Chain A
């Protein structure tokens, strides 16, 4: 059954010869103590004339000296406010509703501030229009405390006053009217009504000013198609909760697609309710988050996807499919039938950078009368046309531009022809770059107007028609910076602050008499919009032409598919150590981008991935050439599920300017982003040497113990009893097989009194997005350890999201194979058994599983601690007293879930780990309620005890019982899909108590008898549309 399926985490596991994998399975710590590292090599040791006696003398002296010095406590100063602000009470957090809209990410959020310092991003439930904060938004608070940020305006690289900058700009703008040149403001898509009003008023004073939008990662094709169809430059919105059938043509709508993730509405219909859940078909080249969550994933090249889309349009039009590729036509035929059957309950989405494909998608959704498809209130989060910036470069070269203002974007880095842009900038002669930190473009500008962080700024956004959000500052400008809007106000001579300007603009144009204060408090204001007819302005002949063009798509050689990584996005947050260290949900690699390639292609090019003895992963280098542009030494990562004939590479890496050396990771794929098309024809050539990855996929393995992931099909879930698809493991008691949960080595305590915390994790609802990982990082002061340490499996993440592959599409075949397995090795061995599969890695199924400390009621770690540093509480927490821990690591060895993390070093105030905990600015993000751990102690997930204790104290102080939703951990609060639900199971009315009663509930490694307080829900796949 489901629990007998074979799961694997890495390509290497499929090879029976790999000794390293076997060794990793047996070793908790990948390496022995790195004694040689700090003792240097043997020859140096022998040459040394320090005798053992000398050594002991030094040790004795330094110990005595340190002891003596420790006898006197330090004098600590405590400095209260002179005038304490009313709303600040030391020790009490304040929350402010605000919005991040940086041209790439958009989210309505709550910012937690302590003593005036923003320290954490939470989801704003009152304005959860686009779901919650993703991993990058969660991490954006750390950018505020980036020590590389600009602390004041610069002119030609040296400090200048704002007055001097303003005078120079105004003089230049005045001079322009005489010279007949234009001034251009270049920004990312900024869907802000007030920003537009501001530019309009600047244009009143200086008619020569133009505004131009530029998106580093373009949605130009989709925008063009929507504009052709509906006459408005916007993007269709989708509500996947209304869809029973989702067909996605290379659209990574759970990742970064058209300005945000649709995970929240998607998951709403992915958890089986009354035997119903949506069916999701994904056609894609790279293995994306969306593909990993799909029920049916068809790996294809982009050309094939285009042809499939064209064929689908034809089939829906009622014509016959004429594709030469029979496998495509077969799939499409089936798809068309299902779509017609589901009718308005189906939706088709498309992520191809092709106007024709986008047009057909819009047409198909109209044809289907899709309820999930919304063209009436479209999204405004992308607007740029990829052509316009090329036009700008031409104008700049011609000398038509007399002044260039660049707001936040970094075209010198993110344009494939960035060098040309840089040269053109020199011809303009006067460029002002409003930038948060130095970057490739700002470096070349005549003036750099130091920009404020969004947590220090006012702004407004119209993410979607009829919706207005507000960004409010949560802290005063830390440095002498100014948001670009304030610069514009200065230059156009508008008095007052940008706050006043927005408020005035809202009073007249937005609020319609509603309260401004309420809008600021909620972070969102909604207005009524009139419905638009679904009639399209496009003739069917035009669409037929588009179809024909699409159907003729073909690719000559290898296709390169560029994508944005969950952790890095478009790269504007590259100096954020949390994001650099965030393991990619699919590849589980951090601190890098790499060329993903299918196993078959890797073999034909002679490219390799191999695991070395310390658990690290190495990969070959290749040289990439796209249209004459080459990228040297790109590491190769063999990605199961990568479509044959395609390779993938993440954008957003390879930045150099304004970045700490440690963060200058990867290669710049934007150099290959020609014509803003994510698909390029590429040739690759193997280069010598091996790249060292920091990939955690083989770390913290569960040592071959089974029953980690349980999954079933929707069919079985409906028709068969739970005992079949959610089998309780049996153990032997008195030579009789009995269910594991009835056998106990220990006497149980009474847990019915008071609170008893449980965490529910629904494998159906978890998309693997990783927002919880960063939320945990921020909440619990988890240190960043750097690439080298990650490589040797010393990552400190308290919460990891394991990604498992399984090879067979149907469980029946798996089962059969498994039944015939006999032992690990040999002809019928389970390891060798993989070899008999055709190609397990060609199109594996994927399952995500968040794993943190399971807070076992019968915890194996507690019994082996020699100093009782880890102990159990009545509330179900497994406590860890850091100050008591002496670092034996017995607990980690004895933990079957591998969730304990050892502090090999002191990660704070240590120049060896020069991340945010090593400077005063970066340390401002630390949560004052959680201890910063030192070297030599074990740490792990605490179930956010500081948060549960806070909820309890609030209830006590107010003299009431705790309300259910009050109990939250950082991860459960960050999870907008409801995959993680936390609460008190002794409160029978609570959501978590009800979830615990579910038939899908199971515990990890139930047969071990640890009785965890974290439970999971069996993953149900809707493999065949029931």
Chain B
């Protein structure tokens, strides 16, 4: 069944490719630029401040060449100079240069003296030929229809099977009834079975058995009660609903952002730190909408409601919290701090230091936090119990050779224990006071 959407997507991507290629071939003749190369250049150099159809830090750039020529009477030469040295033009007193500079909050545009005229041509070619909107929606509808059909087939099979079973039961009853009637008609007596002590009575009468089973029952319930009690306060799998639906899967998984890009204090501090909203805005100033993967959202995402529109709405929540006005591309100063629900809660009496584990010991974040890059909704992966901590301290070897701090102690300890490698436990990592003070 699943063959269909994937085949469809192949067709669509082929189509998409064709669509991109076709206009670019058409444009080639008139703009003498290569929009494919232009797109790459645009993404590298311009996309941080410009979008095609939307004001950002700088103005929207779709058809900029044509627009400038028509509205302001400025030619390509003006653009060349501007892109290579905008500040020079502003100070030289160019009218439009100053107007645009003031319009955009006097945000100076980076000078690109390294771009050649040909490069700029390519970029302009790209801006003149906006790519076609990806036909994602159509795929989505298809996919939904198909998956619907799938589940109804299963229901049908089940319905048929249960019908057959009911018919069989009814037949058995009827046969039995008919046989009895025949027997009565033929005068054959149906023997009643001798009355025996019911099994429960026998059980109650056997005191030994009662005693043993009571013990077994008690032990079993104690076992389960203990198991239940022991997981009180252990919130493994805790995945609360957060005020902003933040997907680690998209950030750390799809886009491969380093964990410590956002959780930067994990490198130096005991706290990994929830990033301040200004860290989000480093990227989200320019990433104002979610475009999804080129193949469109998967059926599973759609079932959960994770559409592009959904994610874009979450980005808007961020803008609201941080007080970012998309229209003017500036901060309003009205912010509402986000109240995240804390997932990993160590008790107060435990001292845990991220820097010690991440920077010094080189432990991967995933060792304790699980496959974060696959988590659409963040959850607590590890039990975070003392037993779990200690186990790791017992099994993990300390990286002694690369850190000069350990030189002396390594020498002395390896002599003492007669081993090359030392675990955290052998280094004193099991002592109470190392974590409890």
Contact = CB atoms under 8 A, between A and B. Distances in A.
Interface of A: 70-71, 73, 75-84, 89-92, 750, 752-754, 869, 871, 873-875, 877, 879-884, 929-932, 942, 945-946, 949, 952-953, 955-957, 959-962
Contacts of B437: 879-880, 929-931, 942, 945-946
B36 to A, nearest CB: 39
Interface string B307-332: 00000000000000111000000000
B434 A75 contact: no
A80 B281 CA distance: 14
A485 B367 CA distance: 55
B423 to A, nearest CB: 14
A880 B431 CA distance: 10
Contact of A80 (B276, B405, B433): B276
A871 B276 contact: no
B341 A752 contact: no
A933 to B, nearest CB: 9
A76 B268 contact: no
A201 to B, nearest CB: 35
A929 B436 CA distance: 10
B268 A89 contact: yes
B274 to A, nearest CB: 4
Interface residue range, chain B: 35 or more
B77 interface: no
Interface in B235-273: 235, 240, 265, 268-271, 273
A91 B270 contact: yes
A82 B431 contact: no
19 contacts: A70-B232, A73-B235, A77-B342, A80-B337, A80-B338, A82-B337, A84-B278, A89-B269, A90-B273, A91-B273, A92-B268, A753-B409, A753-B413, A869-B432, A879-B436, A881-B432, A931-B349, A942-B437, A953-B360
5 pairs of A and B residues whose beta carbons are closest in the complex = A879-B433, A91-B269, A84-B276, A81-B276, A91-B271
Given A75-B341, A953-B360, A90 B277 contact: no
Given A77-B340, A754-B409, A961-B408, A83 B433 contact: no
A959 B338 contact: no
A884 to B, nearest CB: 7
A76 B238 CA distance: 12
Contacts of A962: 405
A90 B341 contact: no
B403 interface: yes
Contacts of A945: 433, 437
Contacts of B273: 80, 89-91
Contacts of B270: 91, 929
A880 B278 contact: no
A948 to B, nearest CB: 10
Nearest to B281: A83
Nearest to B279: A84
Given A83-B278, A957-B360, A884 B412 contact: no
A874 B431 contact: yes
A934 to B, nearest CB: 9
Given A871-B431, A881-B433, 8 more contacts: A873-B432, A880-B432, A880-B433, A929-B437, A952-B405, A955-B405, A957-B360, A959-B405
Given A83-B278, A873-B428, A75 B240 contact: yes
Given A80-B337, A82-B335, A931 B409 contact: no
Interface in B359-416: 359-360, 402-409, 412-413, 416
Contacts of A946: 351, 437
A957 B359 contact: yes
Contacts, number: 153
Contacts of A82: 276-278, 321-323, 335, 337
Contacts of A877: 431, 433
Contacts of B274: 78, 80
A204 B389 CA distance: 70
Contacts of A930: 437
Interface in B264-303: 265, 268-271, 273-279
Contacts of B155: none
B348 interface: yes
A931 B265 contact: no
A71 B407 CA distance: 47
Contacts of A949: 351, 434
A77 B409 contact: no
B434 A79 contact: no
B405 A961 contact: yes
A942 B437 CA distance: 8
Contacts of B9: none
Contacts of B335: 82-83
A751 to B, nearest CB: 11
B265 to A, nearest CB: 5
B339 A77 contact: yes
Contact of B404 (A91, A884, A959): A959
Contact of B275 (A76, A80, A91, A753): A80
A81 B265 contact: no
A931 B348 contact: yes
B359 A83 contact: no
Contacts of A90: 265, 269, 271, 273
A89 B354 CA distance: 13
A871 B432 contact: yes
B233 interface: yes
A80 B279 CA distance: 11
B27 to A, nearest CB: 43
Nearest to B409: A754
B198 interface: no
A178 B334 CA distance: 48
Nearest to A958: B405
A956 B403 contact: yes
A875 B427 CA distance: 11
A83 B412 contact: no
Residue of A70, A752, A961 with most partner-chain B CB within 10 A:
A961
B432 A879 contact: yes
A874 B428 contact: yes
B233 A73 contact: yes
A960 B277 CA distance: 35
A73 B413 CA distance: 42
A841 to B, nearest CB: 42
B187 interface: no
B132 to A, nearest CB: 39
B145 to A, nearest CB: 40
B113 to A, nearest CB: 30
B241 to A, nearest CB: 10
Contacts of B48: none
Contacts of B431: 871, 873-874, 877, 879
A1023 to B, nearest CB: 43
B359 A76 contact: no
Given A80-B277, A750-B416, A931 B436 contact: yes
A768 to B, nearest CB: 28
A957 B278 contact: no
A16 B231 CA distance: 61
Nearest to A962: B405
Nearest to B436: A881
A83 B277 contact: yes
A682 to B, nearest CB: 51
A961 B436 contact: no
B13 interface: no
Interface string B178-204: 000000000000000000000000000
A684 to B, nearest CB: 50
A83 B324 CA distance: 12
B347 to A, nearest CB: 7
B91 interface: no
Contacts of A73: 233, 235, 345
